């Protein structure tokens, strides 16, 4: 049986981290509070209001066909089913109406790397944009973009990332998807743990209504430049409103996949400490998988969680 690190034990790696931050207590037991200068007192981001973070993971074997072709109709069904489950509504239109209003200006923030290969699949983007439109938002007020998204104009954001292990941040999912809302994205690369502050930027704060993760063909190797051996067809979509919980669960799944690939532990490195910091320091959501309510729908084979 593996030995577990006792709760509260300070290891030398913790010590080094603590020393680097200037205060060990902050690193291990940070009590949070709004860390970003300029954030309004008393205002807490949406996820902190949730009594429990809920994540819906839906998988469908038919989402990806021959030649790794994504089936757009199946993807639409998956997103609708996940959102109905997440919202508690029996009807997809009513489910979307809980998160998007006709008067909103909606940013659909996806991931697109021009020459690289792991980006949000167009079928996922199209499915989200379609439902936002059907919720009454006119096309000229739906901004589906990666770079250049007019964040200041948006009253609502839907975070639509892909999933990839990343050489500079550990993992890139919902948290990192907002990195280019910052004028200095590289400052959030490891060992920085402050990525959560992007969600508290004045133009971003409190606008994220949903996170819809393209977990169809994630990447578990050191991205963003890919080795196709490190890409796998997971056939999944994840829906939540908690970017921290989403990142935490995706991290777990990718870690399991890496270990399976190598046949021995292959730790994700650098460790994405920004996920825990997003909870403890920035109060953006839940990072402890044991405290996240995961609802699993559909195909269970090789779910890895």
Partner 1 sequence: MVKSQMPDKAKILASFSLRQILPPEAAGWKTGREDQLFTRDDVFDYIDGGGEIYLAYDFRFVFVREYVRDGAPSIVVEIYQMSSSEDAYGVFTHDSDGDAVDLGQGAIYGAGLLRFWKDKIFVRIMADQETPEAKAVVMGLGTKIAGAIPGDGEEPGLINFLPEEGLKPKSLRYFHTLISLNAHYYLANVNILNLSPETQVAMARYEREGSQLRVLVVEYPTVERAVDAEGRFAEMFLLERFDAGRKVPPKKLEDGKFAGVARRGRYLIIVTEAGKKSDLEWITEIISYNLEGSKP
Residues that bind partner 1 (CB under 8 A): 3, 5, 9, 11-13, 15-17, 19-20, 67-68, 113-117, 166-168, 172, 179, 185-186, 189-191, 221-230, 267, 269-271, 273
Local structure of 24: helix, strand or coil: helix
Structure tokens at 140: 């000229």
Q: How far is the CB of 115 from partner 1 (least distance, A)?
A: 6
In order, the DSSP letters of 229-284 are GGB----EEEEES-HHHHHHHHHHHHHHHHHHHHTS----SS--THHHHHHHTT--
Q: How far is the CB of 269 from partner 1 (least distance, A)?
A: 4
Report the Cα 170 to chain-centroid distance in Å: 13
Longest dimension (CA), the chain: 58
Q: Which is nearer to partner 1, 21 or 35 (CB)?
A: 21
Residues 174, 160: Cα–Cα separation, whole Å:
7
Q: Which is nearer to partner 1, 218 or 222 (CB)?
A: 222
Q: How far is the CB of 91 from partner 1 (least distance, A)?
A: 38
Task: Give the helix/strand (H/E) hosting 75.
Answer: helix 72-87
Q: How far is the CB of 227 from partner 1 (least distance, A)?
A: 5
Q: How far is the CB of 191 from partner 1 (least distance, A)?
A: 3
Number of H helices, E strands in the chain: 8, 10
Q: How far is the CB of 41 from partner 1 (least distance, A)?
A: 30
Residues 57, 246: Cα–Cα separation, whole Å:
10
Q: Which is nearer to partner 1, 86 or 274 (CB)?
A: 274
- The set of residues, in sequence order, having a beta carbon less than 8 Å from that of 261 and lying 6+ positions away, is 220, 229, 230
Q: Which is nearer to partner 1, 85 or 193 (CB)?
A: 193
Q: Which is nearer to partner 1, 50 or 180 (CB)?
A: 180
Q: Which is nearer to partner 1, 48 or 116 (CB)?
A: 116
């Amino acid at each position: 049986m593996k030995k577990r690190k006792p709760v509260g034990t300070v290891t030398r790696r913790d010590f080094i981290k603590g020393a680097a931050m200037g205060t060990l207590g902050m690193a291990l037991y940070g009590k949070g509070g709004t860390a970003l200068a300029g954030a309004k007192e008393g205002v807490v981001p949406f996820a902190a209001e949730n009594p429990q973070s809920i994540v819906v993971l839906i998988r469908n074997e038919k989402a990806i066909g021959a030649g790794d072709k994504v089936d757009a109709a199946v993807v639409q069904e998956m997103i609708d089913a996940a959102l109905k489950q997440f919202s508690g509504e029996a009807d997809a239109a009513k489910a979307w109406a809980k998160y998007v209003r006709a008067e909103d200006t909606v940013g659909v923030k996806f991931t697109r790397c021009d020459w690289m290969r792991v980006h949000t699949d167009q079928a996922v983007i199209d499915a989200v944009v379609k439902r936002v439109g059907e919720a009454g938002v006119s096309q000229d007020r739906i901004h589906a973009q990666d770079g250049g998204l007019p964040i200041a104009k948006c009253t609502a954001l839907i975070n639509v990332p892909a999933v990839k292990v990343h050489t500079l941040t550990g993992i890139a999912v919902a948290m990192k998807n907002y990195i280019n809302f910052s004028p200095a994205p590289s400052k959030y690369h490891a060992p920085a743990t402050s990525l959560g502050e992007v969600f508290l930027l004045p133009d971003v704060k409190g606008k994220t209504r949903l996170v819809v993760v393209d977990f169809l063909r994630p990447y578990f190797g050191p991205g963003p430049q890919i080795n196709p051996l490190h890409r796998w067809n997971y056939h999944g979509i994840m829906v939540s409103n908690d970017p921290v919980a989403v990142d935490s669960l995706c991290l777990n799944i990718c870690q399991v996949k890496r270990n399976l690939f190598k046949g021995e532990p292959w730790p994700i490195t650098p460790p994405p400490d920004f996920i825990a910091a997003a909870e403890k320091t920035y109060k953006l959501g839940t990072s402890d998988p044991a405290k996240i309510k995961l609802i699993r729908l559909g195909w269970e084979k090789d779910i890895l969680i």
